[in-house]
Chain A
Amino acid sequence: MPEVGAAYARVRALLPPLWRALPWRVLGAAGGSATALPALARLVSGGHDTAFALILLRSAEVALALGLAFLLDDPARHITVAVPTRRVLRNGLRLALVVPLVLLCWTVALLLVPGEIRPPAGDVGLEAAALAALALTGAAAAVRFTDEPQPGAVVAATLLAVTVLETLLPERCTLFVDVADPGWAAAHQRWAVLLLLTVPMGAALLPERIRRRRALAWTHR
């Protein structure tokens, strides 16, 4: 099967430069702060409660999402747009490279919170996944609909603004609830809905826009 072999070879050739071109500074800063914040819960002595741990874990998940907002930044975008390898493949590979690291970061962050005050891991993980998906969808949308090579800063700012606004939502449709709150389960259904909505949207936004090129061709004629 030559196609499969060729595709495999292409991916193998693509991996090292992609790995080098990842926005390591921002990702490192985000991952570092995401693991350092829950570590504070362990360092700081004194009987803290689950609400305290929840605040730290939520800060960690927002920090991770803010880092992921920069993932699709490509300073060489105007050059790579001409290469035969499609953007889906390039950005998909970026995701594949980073997602395990993010998962590792999140697991470490979760384990750093002392067990007795740790909020339900699955539910908090769901929040983190939804926020990460939101950030990546935002980045994909920015890449697709603008010509900006590095839209990450704007996406991150928007994501933070959205997060702050989320805390202002009225009680019956809020997302950030306390563990002791009776609306915890309902809020996490909303988180799941958010995740289920953003993932297909993000996937749909990954490929390059074709009509745009036609329009460009029209104008350049």
Chain B
Amino acid sequence: MSTVIDKAPTVFAPVETGRRPAAAVLALARFEARELLVQIPVFFFLLVYVGTTAWKLFSPREDMNNYPILHDVDRATQPGTLLLAVAAFICVNVAALRSRRHGTDRHFDVLVLEPWRRTVAHALSVVPLAAVTALGAAIEFGWAALKPGAVGHGSVAELATGPLVVLLSGVLGVLIARLCPRLAGGPLVVVVGFATLMVVSSVVGQTHWLTWLHPVVSETSNNPIPSDLLGRPAAWHALYLVGLSAVLLCVAALVSGGRTRLLKAITVVALGAMVTGIAGQSPGDDAALITARTKASSTPAAFQSCVAHGRSTYCSFPEWTGWRDDWEKVVDRIQDLAGGGAGGAPLTIRQRIPVVHQLEGDAAIEPLHTPGEVTAGTRWGGNRVPEFAVGVASVLVAGDEQAVSKMCDARVVTVMWLAMAAQDDPMTAFRHVRLDDSLSGSAVALAPTNPVGMSAEQTRIVRALLGRPLYGVTARVKAHWTELTSPRTSEARVAELLGVPAAKNGTGAGESCQK
């Protein structure tokens, strides 16, 4: 019994399906992205992010939001995205370890999609989340830019930083999952990383190039400066973040066993981009920028354009020209209330910035010597309006800003009344312009340059005046202008001239200037 095989068995040629690994990676990335967005932490943090962004946009208390400075707003979109970055890190890490946790790793070995492509797909699943972040940043910025009071120029690189940080943290989550899969300790890495970062930054201090290695460098200040004086290497930083994300992704793919030529080439390119970014952002502020800042602070007139409106001249940096009308309204209202020569005195409103050594932190602006010249800051809206009014009124009464710091007499009453009576809601403005938000006792009233000290008695008189009808007080101020603006007039006499009854226990004379 033998079987003769008379013809060779037919072997079917392998079916040419045309492998398209990229499509498979994208399909997996799409699936993982959907999974990621329905994770409770991601969903919750997204909710918090949207909530805080909406609160920032619609917050009723911050009137300064109506006058946004766009080259500060773009930077302000960055810190909020750190929340999403943490959520992305944790959830991508957990997702990348899902197969190991469920013991399905070896089932994947029979699939055609290699582990490293799977890793890449996990990293790509963060892209939609980064897109949501980009949308959030764009809405935040666009909302500010559409306000009529918006000034300045935003930067795309600053806006891109937030989404890039989310992307980076997602990639980092995948890398950690591949590097220490047994540990299942992604959260632990976050805590240890955070503490190490704190220690390292406390050790190295404020070295420029080390500071800029941080993903988010938000140098915030209350005194914005013109955008060409900022000197932030935002574009280089964005390149650094892109390069770093790509490098980490490539390392994760290499760790998972990817060895294709394309992957190696991309690694080299990404490394190059990262190094270029670091090299670009590392040099500190160059000498020309520092000189320009000093000049803009000491001799702002060379950088500014001026326009004459009515009695006064308004000078501002080129980016702030839109606010001159708002300044004019305040100045005109105060001058209409003032009597004597002050009502028609030509003032020069000069926008100024403090001496800028670094972007972070606040510095005071030195008062001006020139008679009739008033300082305006680089912010407007909210409390900045009555503060500017105090500056204008004190120059009208005292002559120049230097003299205001020596004004320790009853002229303070006239100054504060002029400034507050020109506000829409005098009593609220009076409360807020005082440093301790009080309506009684001695306090310091804020102004663009040096603050004005008020004694308890002066506060009482001003409060009484603000409670009365405007026309009556205006008539008295105009009638007695010369005496009211004389440094020799006593507080009791001022109260008498303005028709305010004397205090029961005549105290408080001259206490405003006690140090």
Interface residues of A (CB under 8 A from B): 25-26, 29-30, 33, 37, 40-41, 44, 46, 48, 52, 55-56, 59-60, 62-63, 66-67, 70, 150, 152-154, 156-161, 164-165, 168
Q: Does B451 contact A (CB under 8 A)?
A: no
Task: Given A70-B184, A153-B184, decide whether A161 and B191 contact each other with a Cβ distance below 8 A.
Answer: no
Q: A157-B94, A157-B186 are in contact. Are A164 and B86 (CB under 8 A)?
A: yes
Contacts of B188 in A (CB 8 A): 26, 29-30, 33, 63, 66-67, 156
Determine if A153 and B101 form an interchain contact, defined as CB atoms under 8 angstroms apart: yes
Mark each residue of chain B from 175 to 199: 1 if its CB lies under 8 Å from any CB of chain A, else 0: 0000000111111101110111011
State which of B41, B86, B185, B199 has its C-beta within 8 Å of the C-beta of A56: B199
A29-B203 in contact (CB<8A): no
**Chain B residues, CB < 8 A from A60:** 195
Interface size bucket, B side?
Answer: 20 to 34
With A33-B188, A157-B186: A46-B198 Cβ-Cβ less than 8 Å: no
Interfacial chain A residues near B191, Cβ < 8 Å: 33, 59, 62-63, 66, 160
The verdict on B327 contacting chain A, using a C-beta distance below 8 Å, is no
Q: Which residue of A lies closest to B202 (CB)?
A: A52
Looking across the interface, which residue of chain A has its beta carbon closest to that of B44? A161
Query: Judging by beta carbons under 8 Å apart, are B91 and A157 in contact?
Result: yes
Q: Are A159 and B202 in contact (CB under 8 A)?
A: no
How many Å lie between the Cα of A165 and that of B86 in the bound state?
A: 11
Enumerate 26 A-B pairs (CB-CB under 8 Å) in ascending A order: A25-B182, A25-B183, A26-B183, A29-B188, A30-B185, A33-B188, A37-B195, A41-B199, A44-B202, A46-B202, A46-B203, A59-B192, A59-B194, A59-B198, A63-B188, A66-B191, A153-B97, A153-B101, A156-B185, A157-B41, A157-B93, A157-B94, A158-B41, A160-B187, A160-B191, A161-B41
Contacts A156-B185, A157-B41 known; 17 new A-B pairs at CB < 8 A = A25-B182, A25-B183, A30-B188, A33-B188, A37-B196, A56-B198, A59-B194, A59-B195, A63-B188, A63-B191, A63-B192, A150-B184, A152-B184, A153-B101, A156-B187, A157-B186, A160-B191
Interface residues of B (CB under 8 A from A): 40-41, 44-45, 48, 52, 83, 86-87, 90-91, 93-94, 97, 101, 182-188, 190-192, 194-196, 198-199, 202-203
Q: Smallest Cβ distance from A165 to chain B, in angstroms? A: 7
Nearest chain-A residue to B194 (Cβ)? A59
Residue of A nearest to B83 (CB): A164
List of B residues within 8 angstroms of A59 by Cβ: 191-192, 194-195, 198
The 8 closest A-B pairs by CB, nearest first: A59-B195, A160-B187, A153-B184, A157-B90, A161-B41, A156-B187, A33-B192, A37-B195
